[in-house]
Structure 1
Amino acid sequence: MKIALIGYGKMGQAIEAIALGRGHEIVHRIDINSSHLLEKEHLQQADVAIEFTTPETAYDNIIRCFDANVPVVCGTTGWLDKLPQVKSQCLEKHQAFLYASNFSIGVNIFFELNRRLAELMAPQSAYGVSMEEIHHTQKKDAPSGTAITLAEQILEKVPGKKGWVNEESTDPAQLAIISKRINPAPGTHTITYSSPIDDITITHTAHSREGFAAGAVTAAEWLKGKKGIFTMKDVLSL
């Protein structure tokens, strides 16, 4: 499979190592210094593009892939206000798009565990719920995209919760997400349900970027040749 890497930072380099180890070819490594490779004639050399850049550039990068008829796997977070436009463009242009706030197989299983726990805790009014997420200091957005996904799952299931805030909160209608930026820390997410009697806590801790990179390559392998809008739930049959 021929891959265009859009974004060649630490994550892009980790994806490259996994992809090459699986026998794939990286036809383009695109960063701020090689943005000319985002032109259609260059992108069309790839079977699929994997996009890990910045919230400011992700939308335009994705649309350029659509215009080049190249399926795109996107892991950039912090730009989801434009997700409805991307989905509309994907369907209108008969393209393929797969977004995940986190490509780690373990995290996606954790998402399912979080959703199920929220369902079980929904009728237990004695428990309050909060979240903490820890990442390295180079991470641009806070809370993380993974934390937002976890929060949205909780908000769907737990009655009385109207939204989330990225700070400590005494408002019972708000889910507090505490974000910490510490080096080195690829990513830890902890959800805690607390009552006067006991606490229930679930945690996912990433030890390296390898899990995210491997999941992104798995998603690209799965997406090749498809049309439509997908998530890691489709890839993993969850």
Structure 2
Amino acid sequence: ENGVMSEVAMMSVLDHPNVVKCLGASFEGDNILLMTTLYERNSLLLVLENEKIPLSRLVSMAEDVAKGMEYLHSLNIIHRDLKPDNLLVGKDWKVVVTDFGVSKVLSGVMTMAVGSSLYIAPEVFESSEYTTKVDVYGFAYVLWSMWEGGKIPFQEYSTFQLIGKVVEDGVRPDVDPECVFGDVMVRSWSKDPNSRPSFSEIAQELKKLKSEITPRRGKKKKEKKQEK
């Protein structure tokens, strides 16, 4: 119950278009119901599995996540469980960050291991100190799933095997050579937290990428029209 109350308290003070906002809460016996804005398209994972998303929109959705996380990090909040299931998509395709059940306000560095194993950074597995850069690592896997239509890598490994592969062997998913997120992904899942970009940097890169994609597509349409 204390954990849920902490989540309610955190959500109620957050104010950003890419972060879910708690509009209120009601108590029914042992149950606590959270009231938030309705996000009609459900989780990002379900959207990726069931929708064919145009590239420009996909980049815009990734930028939404980066901007939401940039805001949280500006408040020294570490999400600690950033994954497609914890991102919601509205009717207008805007993406918001949600599920703050294991989030924490950063005071120096953290040491407690929490989150979903695939998205946990190596330094957390190693029980070493960690910072906001653990969320950047998780975001790299979110980008991978976005490009791969909702696929989740390393399903063949148990949690124990995954820890060995990621931490000891430095294994990462194969990146499609055509993936527009490739460069950001590779830097974001670096084993060295200091080599990972900040969400401010990532948001700027995705904004630039989005601006490059739209004109290029428009130019192709114009050329096709001229051929006719």
Using structure 2 for the length normalisation, give the TM-score. Answer: 0.28
Which of the pair is proportionally richer in helix?
Answer: 2
Using structure 1 for the length normalisation, give the TM-score. Answer: 0.27
Which of the pair is proportionally richer in strand?
Answer: 1
